[in-house]
Amino acid sequence: MGMETGPASALVGAARQGEAWALTEIWQRYAPAVTGYLRGRGAAEPDDLTSDVFVAVFEKLRSFRGDEGDLRAFVFTVAHHRLVDDLRRRSRRGPTISYDAAADGRLTGSAEDEALDALHTQRVHALLSQLSEDQREVLLLRVVGDLSLEQTATALGKRVGAVKALQHRALATLRRILDQAVSL
């Protein structure tokens, strides 16, 4: 189904009625980006938190008003709020030890694939760690979440101008870091 717009899009209408096909379509369309956003923001359990996000989204759909563009912003607004709640809860509770598949000797994968995945993930996290929290948040919502400036501003409760400025500073910082790495 294509990206329909307007208040009466079939996907949004069916989702508001709880139609299984529409809920599945929303999950398939947005869950990978939500997981990427949560992972990029340092969620301890991004897959579990993604599930929590969609439980909340599906519960709130009956009162949702808007088209499919608004739906994307709505999903990422819920994701942002769930992430903030998770980070607060973790800071009060302290660190927990979770299952680490890489440390489980019963599971083995290609050593080359695992090394490359870890290297790429470490590089991305190292680059993102050079940004302020607000800059990182804006870039992840804009790039991974594919939200517009307006949708990002709504999700974060900021003005569009502030989002533009944060995005500009984040990209300038990343450009400077990458230029320095290339010139070494």
pLDDT in tens, the chain (184 residues): 444 444 448 899 999 998 999 999 999 999 999 999 999 888 889 999 999 999 999 999 988 888 888 999 999 999 999 999 888 887 776 555 555 655 555 555 555 555 555 555 677 777 888 889 899 889 888 888 888 999 999 889 999 999 999 999 988 888 888 888 777 6
Best CA proximity match to 102, nearest among 115, 90, 91, 92: 115
For the chain, list the domains and their CATH numbers. Answer: 1-98 (1.10.1740.10), 110-184 (1.10.10.10)
pTM of structure = 0.64
CB-based contacts of 154, cutoff 8 Å, min separation 6: 73, 77
**Cβ-Cβ contacts under 8 Å for 124 (sequence gap 6 or more):** 40
Report how far apart the first and last C-alpha atoms of the chain are (Å, whole number).
48
pLDDT at residue 6 in the model: 46
72 to 3, 69, 152: CA distances (angstroms): 11, 5, 10
What pLDDT is attached to residue 112?
53
pLDDT at 3: 46
Cβ-contact 24, 57 below 8 angstroms: no
